[in-house]
């Protein structure tokens, strides 16, 4: 009798452990860090969009509270970011030699991400911050170059002047096709920017191939977090992706300065049509996601500036 009780107890403990392990795969929150830099191209380039650093916090809404049956998942996102731009080099002390303004952008943003059961994703975000010296981009680049032993920068005295930066961003992604084995899909990825910093719209195609998950479970859309999901575990992912994108630029304050009485010493007109090709690889399992990508962008400035490219390294941790 005692032996039978022990067996029942051991079996109960074993089942509990298995259930705990399964349910432990659901994580409701995520922290991410993203770094853009042309140094990630590994051949010494240092120009134009030269550095970006972003921190993200995301939290999933309890899916039991979603009254709309067409919505699969909703997540909220808070982020802070800094972007810096230079001419062909970070050392161009004379303004007449600068083919792009020195400029910095610092912001905080709140965003909601809505995942539809009809294979659509909507992302709506509002950002507030500043361009100009108040972005501390000059200090950041100086510190970065001193830390890694790069050349001294010069030319930031002529950077874009301070101005308030308020921007609304709306992104929409829709599935076009996915093969039967769910190892390849193609999506339409569009974006609208309205504000004092960036205004314009873009059309892109997202191609993924490999071990991929649906939109509302994929690391590409930062959707591996959930609360009270019907799933006990989300499958690991490892895939490659490519996204060609065409943008129409209405206004870019990092090139043109403030749209309200700008007094920046060096400004240019923005190139209205910009083509971009992004390629990358993504891995995700349990708590961790890793991403590496390269972005190739056509000429953005109406000057003798060239096209350029940069790399992105990102990591996410769920809890």
**pLDDT tens track for 228-275:** 887 767 899 999 999 999 999 999 999 999 999 899 999 999 999 999
Which of 103, 109, 111, 37 has the alpha carbon at shortest distance from 80?
A: 109
- Identify the pLDDT of residue 7: 56
CA distance 303 to 297: 15
**How far apart are the C-alpha atoms of 87 and 100, rounded to whole Å?**
4
Nearest to 105 by CA among 78, 77, 127, 76: 127
- For position 10, what pLDDT does the model report? 53
Domain that holds residue 283: 2-318
Domain with 73 in it: what CATH number?
Answer: 2.40.128.140
Task: Report residue 25 as tokens.
Answer: 């795969």
pLDDT at 139: 96
Q: What pLDDT, on a 0 to 100 scale, did the predictor assign at position 1?
A: 46
* Residue 305 · residue 48 · CB < 8 Å: yes
First to last CA, the chain: 43
Q: Cα 90 from chain centroid?
A: 24
- Write down the pTM of the prediction: 0.90
Q: Give the pLDDT of residue 14.
A: 52
Q: Looking at the 3D structure of the chain, how many domains does it have?
A: 1
Neighbours of 246 (CB within 10 A): 14
pLDDT at 17: 43
Provide the pLDDT for residue 106: 98
- Determine the pLDDT at residue 228: 87
Strand partners, 313: 35, 292
Residues of the chain with pLDDT below 50 are 1-3, 5-6, 9, 12-13, 15-24
Q: Which two tokens stand for residue 205?
A: 């195609």
What's residue 45's pLDDT? 79
**Cβ contact 223:80 at 8 Å:** no
What pLDDT is recorded for position 11? 55
Tokens, residue 303: 């000057």
294 neighbors 311 (Cβ within 8 angstroms): yes
What pLDDT was estimated at residue 232?
64
The alpha carbon of residue 252 and the mean position of all alpha carbons in its chain are separated, in whole angstroms, by 19
| Whole-number CA gyration radius for the chain | 23
């Amino acid at each position: 009798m005692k032996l039978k009780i022990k067996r029942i107890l051991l079996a109960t403990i074993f089942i509990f452990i298995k259930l705990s392990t399964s349910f432990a795969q659901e994580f409701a929150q995520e922290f991410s860090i993203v770094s853009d830099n042309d140094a990630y191209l590994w051949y010494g380039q240092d120009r134009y969009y030269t550095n970006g650093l972003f921190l993200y916090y995301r939290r999933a809404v309890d899916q039991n509270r979603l009254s709309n049956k067409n919505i699969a998942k909703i997540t909220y996102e808070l982020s802070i970011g800094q972007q810096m731009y230079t001419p062909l080099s970070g050392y161009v002390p004379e303004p007449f030699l600068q083919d792009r303004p020195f400029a910095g952008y610092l912001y905080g943003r709140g965003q909601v991400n809505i995942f539809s059961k009809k294979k659509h994703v909507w992302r709506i975000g509002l950002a507030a911050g500043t361009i100009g010296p108040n972005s501390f981009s000059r200090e950041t680049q100086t510190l970065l170059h001193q830390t890694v032993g790069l050349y001294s920068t010069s030319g930031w005295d002529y950077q874009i002047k301070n101005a308030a930066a308020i921007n609304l961003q709306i992104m929409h992604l829709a599935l076009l096709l996915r093969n039967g084995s769910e190892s390849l899909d193609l999506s339409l990825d569009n974006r609208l920017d309205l504000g004092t910093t960036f205004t314009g719209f873009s059309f892109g195609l997202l191609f993924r191939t490999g071990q991929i998950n649906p939109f509302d479970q994929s690391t590409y859309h930062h959707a591996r977090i959930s609360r009270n999901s019907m799933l006990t575990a989300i499958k690991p992912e490892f895939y490659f992706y490519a996204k060609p994108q065409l943008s129409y630029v209405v206004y870019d304050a990092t090139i043109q300065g403030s749209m309200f009485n700008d007094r920046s010493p060096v400004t240019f007109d923005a190139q209205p049509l910009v083509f971009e090709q992004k390629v990358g690889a993504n891995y995700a399992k349990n708590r961790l996601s890793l991403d590496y990508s390269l972005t190739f962008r056509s000429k953005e400035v109406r000057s003798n500036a060239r096209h350029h490219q940069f790399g992105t390294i990102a990591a996410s941790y769920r809890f």
